[in-house]
Chain A
Amino acid sequence: MTTLAILILAIPLFMFLLLGLLGMKMSHKLAGWLGCLGMGTTLVLAYTTAFTYYFDPEYTSEIGQRLQVLLFNETWLQFTEKLVINIGFLLDPISALMLVVITTISFLVHLYSLGYMEGEKGFQRYYAFLSLFSFSMLLLVVATNIFQMYIGWELVGASSYLLIGFYYTKHSAVSASKKAFIVTRFADLGFLLGILILSFYTETFDFITLTSNPDAVLTRFGGATFMGASALTWALILIFTGGMGKSAMMPLHIWLPDAMEGPTPVSALIHAATMVVAGVFLVARMFPVYLLDFDATLFIVCVGGITAFYAAMVACTQIDIKRVLAFSTISQIAFMMVSLGVASDGMGIPSHHGLGYMASMFHMFTHAMFKALLFLGAGALIHAVHSNDYTAMHGLRKYMPITHVTFLIGCLAIAGIPPFSGFFSKDEILAACYHWHPFIGLWMSMVAGLTAFYMFRLYYLIFWWKEHKVEHGHTPHEAPLPMRIPLIFLAAVSVVAGFIPFGHFVTWDRMPYDIHLDLAVAGSSIGIALVAIFIAYKMYCHENNAPAKMKAALPALWDWCHHRFYWDELYMFITHKIIFGLICKPIAWFDRHIIDGTMDAFAIVTNKASYAIRGLQSGQVQMYVWVYLIGALLLAAVGIICVF
Chain B
Amino acid sequence: MDYSQFLAMKQEIGLLVVFLLVFLYDTFMPQRSGKALPVFTTVLMLAATVAGFFPCLLGTGSMSAFAGMYETSPIVCAIKGVLNIGVVIVLIQSYVWADSAPMQQRRGEYLELTLLTLFGMYLMISARHFLLFVIGLETASLPLATMVALDKDHYESREAAVKYILTAIFSSAVFMMGLSYVYGLSGSLYFNDIAVNIASQMSPLLIIAMVFVMAGIGFKLSLVPFHLWTADVYQGAPTSVTSYLSVISKGSAAFAFLVILAQAFGTIYADTWEWMLYALIVLTITIGNLFAMRQRNMKRFLAFSSVSQAGYIMLGVIAFNVTGMASLVYYILVYIFSNLAAFGVIQAIENATGKLSMDDYKGLYKTNPRLSFAMMLAMFSLAGIPPFAGFFSKFFIFTGAIAQRSVAIYVLVLIALINTIISLYYYLLVVKAMFISPDECVIPTFKSACSERLGLWITVAGIILLGIVSCVYNWLSGIAVM
Contact = CB atoms under 8 A, between A and B. Distances in A.
Interface of A: 603, 606-607, 609-611, 613-614, 616-617, 619, 621, 623-625, 627-633, 635-636, 638-640, 642-644
Given A617-B228, A624-B228, A628-B170, A636 B208 contact: yes
Given A609-B290, A628-B219, A639 B207 contact: yes
Given A614-B294, A640-B204, A627 B228 contact: yes
Contacts of A638: 279
A629 B272 contact: no
B294 A611 contact: yes
Contacts of B204: 640, 644
A558 B247 CA distance: 82
A643 B271 contact: yes
A469 to B, nearest CB: 58
Nearest to B207: A639
B322 interface: no
A642 B270 CA distance: 13
Interface string B269-305: 0011001100110000001001101100000000000
A643 B174 CA distance: 22
Contacts of A629: 174
B23 interface: no
A623 B294 contact: no
Contacts of A623: 228
Given A632-B174, A636-B211, A640-B204, A621 B166 contact: yes
Nearest to B304: A617
Contacts of B290: 606, 609-610, 613
B429 to A, nearest CB: 13
B293 A635 contact: no
A619 B233 CA distance: 10
Contacts of A630: 225
B386 to A, nearest CB: 22
Given A610-B293, A639-B207, A632 B271 contact: no
- Which secondary structure dominates chain A's binding surface? helix
B229 interface: yes
Contacts, number: 83
Contacts of A633: 211
A627 B293 CA distance: 21
B99 interface: no
B163 interface: yes
Given A607-B293, A636-B207, A628 B163 contact: no
Contacts of B458: none
Contacts of B425: 603
- Interface size for chain B: under 10, 10 to 19, 20 to 34, or 35 or more residues? 35 or more
Contacts of A643: 202, 207, 271-272
Contact of B226 (A616, A628, A644): A628
8 contacts: A603-B425, A611-B294, A617-B231, A624-B167, A628-B171, A632-B211, A632-B225, A636-B212
A643 to B, nearest CB: 6
A91 to B, nearest CB: 43
Interface of B: 162-163, 166-167, 170-171, 174, 202, 204, 207-208, 210-212, 215, 219, 224-226, 228-229, 231-232, 271-272, 275-276, 279-280, 287, 290-291, 293-294, 422, 425
B290 to A, nearest CB: 4
Contacts of B225: 627-628, 630-632
A610 B291 contact: yes
Name which of B171, B228, B271 has the most chain A CB atoms within 10 A of its CB: B228
A636 B226 CA distance: 14
Contacts of B226: 628, 631-632
Nearest to B272: A639
A582 B369 CA distance: 48
B127 to A, nearest CB: 22
B202 A632 contact: no
B13 to A, nearest CB: 36
Contact of A621 (B167, B202, B211): B167
B207 A640 contact: yes
B207 A616 contact: no
A479 B472 CA distance: 69
Nearest to B164: A621
A529 B212 CA distance: 104
Nearest to A611: B294
B215 A628 contact: yes
Give the 4 A-B residue pairs with the shortest CB-CB distance, closest first: A631-B225, A624-B228, A610-B290, A636-B211
Nearest to A609: B290
Contacts of B224: 631
Contacts of A636: 207-208, 211-212
Contacts of B219: 628
Contact of A624 (B163, B276, B279, B280): B163
A49 to B, nearest CB: 44
B422 A635 contact: no
A604 to B, nearest CB: 12
Nearest to A599: B421
Contacts of A621: 162-163, 166-167, 229
Given A623-B228, A624-B163, A624-B167, A606 B207 contact: no
B207 A617 contact: no
Contacts of A609: 290
Contact of A635 (B162, B276, B287): B276
A611 B290 CA distance: 8
Contact of A639 (B162, B167, B276): B276
A510 to B, nearest CB: 52
B291 A635 contact: no
A632 B226 CA distance: 8
Nearest to A629: B174
A639 B274 CA distance: 11
Contacts of A639: 207, 210-211, 272, 275-276
Contacts of B422: 606
A642 B293 CA distance: 34
Contacts of B202: 643
A603 to B, nearest CB: 8
A638 B283 CA distance: 15
B198 to A, nearest CB: 14
A482 B74 CA distance: 77
A617 B174 contact: no
A628 B425 CA distance: 28
Name which of A616, A628, A644 has the most chain B CB atoms within 10 A of its CB: A628
A598 to B, nearest CB: 13
Contact of B212 (A606, A632, A642, A644): A632
